[in-house]
Amino acid sequence: MIKVGILGAKGYTAGELMRLLVNHPQATLACLMARVDTPEPVENYFPQLRGVVTLPVEPMNLDALASRCDAVFLALPHTTAQEYAPGLIAKGVKILDLSADFRFDSVVSYEETYKVKHLAPELNAQMPYALPELFRSQITSDLPGLAIPGCYTTTSILGLAPLMTHGDVLDLDHIVINALSGVTGAGRKPGEATHFPECNESVTAYKVASQRHRPEIEEKLSILAGRTVRLTFTPHLMPMNRGILATCSIPMKRPVTTAEAHGWYEAFYQGEPFVRVLPEGLVPATSGVVYSNFCDLGVVADNHSGMLLAFSATDNLTKGASGQAIQAMNALFGLDETLGLLPEKRS
């Protein structure tokens, strides 16, 4: 059994990790830590886990954490994980970092995007971007850890990836992504925008033309395209708890049929257990993926406007965070990626 710990055990992604890991056949929760003064029961933060997770949430102590764990999930805020990852790795622990601190290939891009100095640039080069469907070959057992992509980036990148090799027929300089997310995507810390009276029965665009995930999406899509890709990314807050839907629009250089584009997606994701290309003409809904590690995809050609439309849906807490982190952990330890993540089959 892989003994796993969670650092930052009070947040939504930590709760999702616990929900999934209690049913993992080859991993066991060994330690939960967060910024608390004294040990507290998990049900103080996640009442649904009462009697299911009996470990307490303990004050942060890296020596104790490393002594009990083979791997640690860093469920910490952006710019914070880099403070803890080097020390844990030095103690022989594998790291699964759910923040953005190690996601960029370019440290310069990270520093420009998050307005901080990177504290571990040498480690950044050793922690690949763990989106298995696209970068599986980079995940090897000798790595010190992995950078886990987030919800908006996962949803958008998986939605667009099959199109990146078709720059001869698509305009990769004018991609537009409109993505809608449930409120849990903002994290547990309360704010005015996520206060119930402010966000209920309202849809709001935010951080227009300045969202910090755009450079990350551009960097990864450019790798897949073999050239620089440019896009506009606009996030929207939806009055629901979970789920993301991304609508991606790309101008066509020549007419493309829906059947032709659908064939690109089916061929690209053939055999991927967590990516479901819907039947031709159908588009996904968040209700089809919540509480799961699936990404549902659809593509439609609009030859009236000359645009190809790609649609992608995920659960922001599962495939967009904790489920993907477990999928990456499975790959890092040489296990079947689906362990602990597929729905139970019932006869």
Strand 275-277 and strand 175-181: the pairing is unpaired
Query: Which of 231, 241, 126 has the alpha carbon at shortest distance from 187?
Result: 241
308 token code pair = 């190809």
Amino acid at the residue 26: Q
DSSP 148: P
Detail the DSSP E strand segments found in the chain. Answer: 2-7, 27-34, 40-41, 56-59, 71-74, 94-97, 145-147, 175-181, 204-205, 231-237, 244-251, 275-277, 295-302, 307-314
Measured distance CA(183)–CA(67) in Å, rounded: 36
Strand 295-302 and strand 307-314: the pairing is antiparallel
Measured distance CA(241)–CA(67) in Å, rounded: 36
CB-CB neighbours of 244 under 10 Å: 28
Catalytic residues: 151
Strand 56-59 and strand 40-41: the pairing is antiparallel
Instruction: Determine contact, residues 44/37, Cβ cutoff 8 Å.
Output: no
Query: Which of 64, 82, 159 has the alpha carbon at shortest distance from 121?
Result: 82
68 token code pair = 């009990």
Helices (H), the chain: 12-21, 62-68, 81-90, 107-114, 121-124, 132-135, 151-160, 196-199, 214-225, 258-268, 323-332
Give the distance, in angstroms, between the CA of residue 83 and the centroid of all CA atoms in the same chain.
21
Instruction: Determine contact, residues 94/72, Cβ cutoff 8 Å.
Output: yes
